[in-house]
A and B are shown apart, each in its own frame.
Chain A
Amino acid sequence: MRGSANSDRLAPPLALTLSPRRGEEVVNGFAMSPPVLRLSGITKRFGPLVANDAISFDLARGEVIALLGENGAGKTTLMNILFGHYVADAGAVEAFGKLLPPGDPRAALDAGIGMVHQHFTLADNMTVLENIALGTQGLWNWKLDRLGARERIEKMSFEFGLAVDPAAPVGSLSVGERQRVEILKALYRDARVLILDEPTAVLTPAETDALFATLKLLVGQGLSIIFISHKLNEVMAVSDRVLVLRSGRLAGERVTADTNRGELAALMVGQEVAPPPVPPSEPGPLQLVLNAVSTEKRGSAVSLDRISLSLRGGEITGLAGVSGNGQAALAALIAGIEAPTSGEIIVRGSAARDWSPRSALSAGVARIPEDRHAVGTIGDMSVTENVIAERYLTPRFSRGGFLDWKASRAFAQQIIADYDVKCPSPEARIRLLSGGNMQKLILGRALDPDPSVILANQPTRGLDVGAVGYVHRKLLEARARGAAILLISEDLEEILVLSDRIIVVSKGHLSASSARGERTVAQLGELMAGHGMEAA
């Protein structure tokens, strides 16, 4: 599981130390001043789901707390309550000794709480200055004070080492630059508490180091930080204290210096979880080959530039890389949504002529898409209707233009049974299913025709531990049956555990592939940052 031996290969930890102010008593390394933040008994329910269950903790001045937990553990919900996007059903938040009115982001901002959201809250059509100034000047002011704002931004940019160009339109910025703008946005409003929600998910290892250096600087200036993450190594490197959430409850609280990855992993998951055994396998024949393939450049998204890729049966090829480097283009290509603008796609020796989702499916390519809500399923249609979506034209499900609903329902029931999907009935609307059950359904739909190629794009994103394990097991079973699997994942640990071969993607180019264990994590990090990429 995460936190296994493989993480030893990740970047060496960056230690953060805090220097106490002169004359103050120091306990556990922290100055004894009243807590800047106190959460008491925060509870939040969404219908029958309890997202947060009576959570309480304090944040001291100058402290860095990591909020650790699996997907769905309740971390983001808790921070959204703190910041005022949600209202808690019970409990209270005190900031700097004063009670914070619930559900009011403005009050949180005024109290000195700033949040860097996981999905950036920036308007692409406006400049950096406009994004930062938004909401900071009186809404009924007759004129926007650009000069004053610019001066202040430049001053803070220099002071905190966050280089930005105030006049740049946000739409043209890289992910790392956008994050700097997000942080500056919070600092501009005199944030004394900074919440960062999974900030390193979209950064290269080098950018991550830069971020941690910035955090160190901020802490030195007296800021307190809450850092949400599910990556153990970062938590160990950056935080003073760790709060572990599991299924909405505070499973444990540890001082970072006194704990270790294994203990934290156990707290996160509730039990010792060993990674699934990966039996050795003999790579089989070539199933899918991409030969000097390019895709069309659309807007600011990264396109592929004459890449080549070979997938062999019985093998999992892992595609590592920071999100936004061409994974979407490659996935769209293999899924059939994008046709190559040059080069060829060769399936089991013969070049494909017209490339579309239908031709990919008939070529034996199974697709597990990145976004099960927007792309993988049609939320308002029933489970049955979703399950036949890729094969409704086959004689099994339709004849003479009429659908065979009986056969379709039977198929749905078969998948529900075989893949342990919890749903009220095959006629229920699929949006009612939990993320994990939806993913199992998609998996069942994809694997039923015994595909020769499987495209698994972020297959475990947003899933709880049990579902993650299930997906991994199914992929390994398919591998044992001889399928060629391309695993695209932002989670480097997942790639390292499952892949027989690893390829790195950076800015639309693919590296040469390496066998399991051949490259260290540091080497992979270098490739992910774009250094040393030889065309494959």
Chain B
Amino acid sequence: MRLEPKPAPSLAITLLYPIAAIILTLLITSLLVLAAGASPFSVFYLVWRGAAGSQFALLETLTRATPLIFTGLAVAIAFRAKLWNIGAEAQLYIGGVVTVVLGTGLLPLPSFLLIPIIMIAAMAAGALLLLGPAVLKTHFGVDEVVTTLLLNFIVLLFVSMLLEGPLKDPMGLGWPQSSKVIAEAQLPRIIQGKRLHYGFVMAIVSAIIVWVVMKKTVLGYEMRAVGHNPQAAAFAGIPVNRVLMKTALLSGGLAALAGFCEVSGLKGNLTLDLSPGYGYSGIVVAMLAMLNPIGVVASAIFVAGIFVGADAMSRSAGVPSYIADVMVATSLLTMVVAILFTRFRLRWK
């Protein structure tokens, strides 16, 4: 059995295989639903209804999609340069920490100053957090997968320590949570009374900016070249290590913005369960979008819809909500296989 490269595929083919991947995912998920004693059709319908069947559902999906767009972008940028950033979870939390440190009254500034300052500080924290593993990769040859993964655990413990210590909310009845950020540090809601906040707009804007950077700037070109073939890039004079550093800074910063948005726009304070795995889901979001920044918006909404819809479905149909995680993980694997078949043909010789 061997793989034979196909000439550049048509747009139809490029879409056909991912659709096949989604269908395969639905089939596999149906088996699990059947095992749970429920009807796949009713379950999928309930998921759909929970995700987009009403204005409330749709807004909830978009709210959930906001941090996923940021982590998806973070992962997409990094993976494009073959920098395996599995630490978006830690970078997200660090963004949340900075938000709370600066936004709970330390800086008595008006909104239009405070929010940008917090954003920049959060991005800087996330950037530096990923810079460590990046430097270890370029100068010490240490695989960044393991270092970023281990950092996730370290940072989460660090946050736990802060929440039980210096950042503890004095009026929180002893729960490990931080104080609420002041009104000037909060991202306003888009619609009064609903949960969707301006972080969503920021996420879309970020996606567009990332797309422009990747396609039209020198840095984007360098990142893509380094990701495809670092040896050839170095030969041509592209400063590979410096490009990887810049990639790490951008990627870490974007993931930290996810944390900032969740604290400032949605929750208002920092708790240990700020993120139900957005950092890891960001990997799936990025791969489903084939590392394309605009695609990330679509796949983030898709993945968010699955989680939101599954939560709602689980309450009425009794199928464990973890079915969403299974669906998302399965779609990652089927997608990756589908992408392969858009570029290669299988030969049985």
Q: Does B7 lie within 8 Å of A432, measured CB to CB?
A: yes
Task: Name the contact of B218 in the complex, choosing from A46, A337, A393, A431 (C-beta under 8 A).
Answer: A393
Question: Are A374 and B217 touching (Cβ within 8 A)?
Answer: no
* Contact pattern, A 366-383, Cβ under 8 Å of B = 1, otherwise 0: 010100001111111100
Which of the residues A46, A380, A424 comes within 8 Å of B228, measured between beta carbons?
A380
CB-CB < 8 A to B8: which residues of A? 424, 428-429, 432
Chain B residue numbers with a CB within 8 Å of A277 are none
Binds A, one of B233-241, B255-263, B321-329: B233-241
A336 & B232 in contact (Cβ 8 Å cutoff): no
List the A residue with the shortest CB-CB distance to B216: A402
Q: Is there a chain B Cβ closer than 8 Å to A71's Cβ?
A: no
Given contacts A87-B349, A432-B8, contact A357 B225 (CB under 8 A): no
Task: Mark out the residues of chain B between 236 and 284 whose CB falls within 8 Å of any chain A CB in the assembled complex.
Answer: 236-238
> How many B residues have CB within 8 A of the partner chain?
22
Q: Which single member of B4, B231, B236 contacts A389 (CB below 8 Å)? A: B236
Residue in B7, B216, B221, B234 whose CB lies within 8 Å of A392:
B221
Of B4, B224, B232, which contacts A375 at CB under 8 A?
B232
B39 CB-CB contact with A under 8 Å: no
- In the complex, the answer to whether B237 meets A358 with C-beta atoms within 8 Å is yes
Among A47, A376, A398, contact of B232 (Cβ-Cβ < 8 Å): A376
Assess whether B231 is in contact with A381, with CB atoms less than 8 Å apart: no
A361 at the interface (CB under 8 A from B): yes
Chain A's closest residue to B348 (CB) is: A87
**Contact indicator A378/B233 (Cβ below 8 Å):** yes
**Chain B 1-41 interface mask (CB, 8 Å, partner A; 1/0):** 00011011000000000000000000000000000000000
> A217 at the A/B interface (Cβ < 8 Å)?
no
Residues of A within 8 A of B219 (CB): 401
Q: Separation in Å of the A393 CB from the closest CB of chain B?
A: 7
Interface residue from A357, A376, A401 paired with B217 (Cβ < 8 Å) = A401
B7 proximity list for chain A (CB < 8 A): 432
Query: Which of chain A's residues have a CB closer than 8 A to the CB of B225?
Result: 378, 381, 385, 389
- B-side contacts of A356, CB under 8 Å: 237
Give the residue among A356, A389, A431 with the most B Cβ atoms within 10 A.
Answer: A389
The answer to whether B224 touches A403, judged by C-beta atoms less than 8 angstroms apart, is no
Any chain B CB within 8 A of the CB of A390? yes
| A71 vs B216: C-alpha distance when bound (angstroms) | 40
In the complex, are the beta carbons of B221 and A378 less than 8 A apart? no
Interface range, A side: 35 or more
Question: Cβ of B216 and Cβ of A375 under 8 Å apart?
Answer: no
Q: Bound complex: CA of A512 vs CA of B5, how far in Å? A: 48
Cβ of A103 under 8 Å from chain B: yes
Q: Cβ of B42 < 8 Å from any Cβ of A?
A: no
Interface 0/1 of B41-67, CB less than 8 Å to A? 000000000000000000000000000
CB distance from B217 to the nearest CB of A (A): 5
Q: Nearest chain B CB to A82's CB is how many angstroms away?
A: 16
Residues in B with CB closer than 8 Å to A369 are 235
Please tell me if B111 contacts chain A, counting CB pairs below 8 Å: no
Q: Which of A420-453 contact B (CB under 8 A)?
A: 424, 428-429, 431-432
For A487, list chain B residues within 8 Å (CB): none
| Chain B neighbourhood of A361, CB < 8 A | 237
Q: With A and B bound together, what is the CA distance between A431 and B349 in angstroms?
A: 23
Which A residues are CB-close (under 8 A) to B237?
336, 356-358, 361, 389-390
Which residues B173-223 have CB closer than 8 A to chain A?
A: 216-219, 221
The docked-state distance in angstroms from the alpha carbon of A389 to that of B224 is: 12
Complex CA gap A357/B7 in Å reads: 33
**Contact assessment for A378 and B228 in the assembled complex, using a CB-CB cutoff below 8 Å:** yes
Known contacts A385-B221, A401-B217, A402-B218; A390 and B228 CB within 8 A of each other:
no
A202, B321: Cα distance in complex, Å = 63
Bound-complex Cα distance A335 to B232 (A): 12
Give the nearest-CB partner of B219 in chain A. A401
Judging by beta carbons under 8 Å apart, are A374 and B232 in contact? yes
Interface string of A517-530 (1 = CB under 8 A from B): 00000000000000
Residues of A within 8 A of B231 (CB): 374-375
Cα A369 to Cα B234 in complex, Å, equals 12
Q: How far is the CA of A405 from the CA of B219 in the complex (A)?
A: 14
In the complex, how many angstroms separate the beta carbon of B349 from the nearest chain A beta carbon? 5
Could you say which residues of chain B place their CB within 8 Å of the CB of A46?
4
Taking CB atoms, residues of chain A closer than 8 Å to B233 are 378, 389
A367 touches B235 (CB 8 A): yes
CA distance A47 to B228 in the complex (A): 25
The answer to whether A357 and B232 touch (CB under 8 A), given A393-B218, A398-B218, A428-B8, is no
CA–CA, A356 to B236, complex, Å?
A: 10
In the complex where A429-B8, A432-B7 touch, is A378 in contact with B216 (Cβ < 8 A)?
Answer: no
The minimal Cβ–Cβ distance linking B321 to chain A, given in whole angstroms, is 39
Scoring B216, B228, B232, B233 by chain A CB atoms within 10 A of each residue's CB, the highest score goes to B232
Mark A388-408 against chain B: 1 for CB-CB distance below 8 A, else 0: 011011000010011101000
Docked-complex contact B238 and A389, CB < 8 angstroms: yes
Chain A 345-366 against B: per-residue CB contact (8 Å), 1 yes, 0 no? 0000000000011100100000
List, in ascending order, chain B residues with CB within 8 A of A336's CB: 237
Residues of B within 8 A of A358 (CB): 237
Chain A 9-25 interface residues, beta-carbon cutoff 8 Å to B? none
Whole-angstrom distance between the Cβ of A85 and the nearest chain B Cβ:
11
Q: How far is the CA of A357 from the CA of B221 in the complex (A)?
A: 18
| Shortest distance from the beta carbon of A411 to any chain B beta carbon, whole Å | 14
Least distance between B229 CB and chain A CB atoms (Å): 4
List the B side residues contacting A393 at CB < 8 Å. 218
Q: Which residue from chain B places its CB closest to the CB of A432 in the assembled complex?
A: B7
Q: Among the listed A87, A357, A379, A385, which residue makes an inter-chain contact with B235, where contact means beta carbons less than 8 Å apart?
A: A357
Minimum CB–CB distance for A368 against chain B, Å: 11
Q: In the complex the two chains form, what is the Cα distance from A337 to B232 in whole Å?
A: 11
For B228, list chain A residues within 8 Å (CB): 378-381
Give the nearest-CB partner of B236 in chain A. A389
B234, A337: Cβ atoms closer than 8 Å: yes
Q: How far is the CA of A369 from the CA of B238 in the complex (A)?
A: 16
| B263-312 at interface with A (beta carbon < 8 Å) | none
The distance in angstroms between the C-alpha atoms of A361 and B7, with both chains bound, is: 33
Cβ contact of B4, chosen from A47, A376, A390, A429, cutoff 8 A: A47
- Distance, CA A429 to CA B6, complexed state (A): 11
A392 to B217 CA separation, bound complex (whole angstroms)? 11
- Give bound CA distance, A353 to B8, whole Å: 44
Bound-state CA distance A376–B235 (Å) is 7
Q: Could you tell me the distance between the alpha carbons of A429 and B225 in the complex, rounded to whole angstroms?
A: 13
Min Cβ gap B227→A in Å is 9
Bound complex: CA A403 to CA B237 (Å): 16
Q: Is the CB of B234 within 8 A of A357?
A: yes
**A427, chain B: closest CB distance, angstroms:** 9
Residue of B at shortest CB range from A408? B221
Beta-carbon contacts of A47-89 to B below 8 Å, as 1s and 0s?
1000000000000000000000000000000000000001100
CA distance in complex: A380, B226 (Å): 11
- A residues near B (Cβ < 8 Å) are 46-47, 86-87, 103, 335-337, 356-358, 361, 367, 369, 374-381, 385, 389-390, 392-393, 398, 401-403, 405, 424, 428-429, 431-432
Q: Given contacts A361-B237, A392-B218, could you give 19 more A-B pairs where the C-beta distance is less than 8 Å?
A: A103-B349, A337-B234, A337-B235, A356-B237, A367-B235, A374-B231, A376-B235, A378-B229, A378-B233, A385-B225, A389-B225, A389-B232, A389-B233, A389-B238, A390-B237, A392-B221, A403-B216, A403-B221, A432-B8
14 contacts between A and B (CB under 8 A): A337-B235, A356-B237, A357-B234, A358-B237, A377-B232, A378-B228, A378-B229, A379-B228, A379-B229, A381-B228, A389-B225, A401-B217, A424-B8, A429-B8
- Nearest first, the 5 closest Cβ-Cβ pairs linking A and B are A357-B237, A389-B236, A358-B237, A378-B229, A87-B349
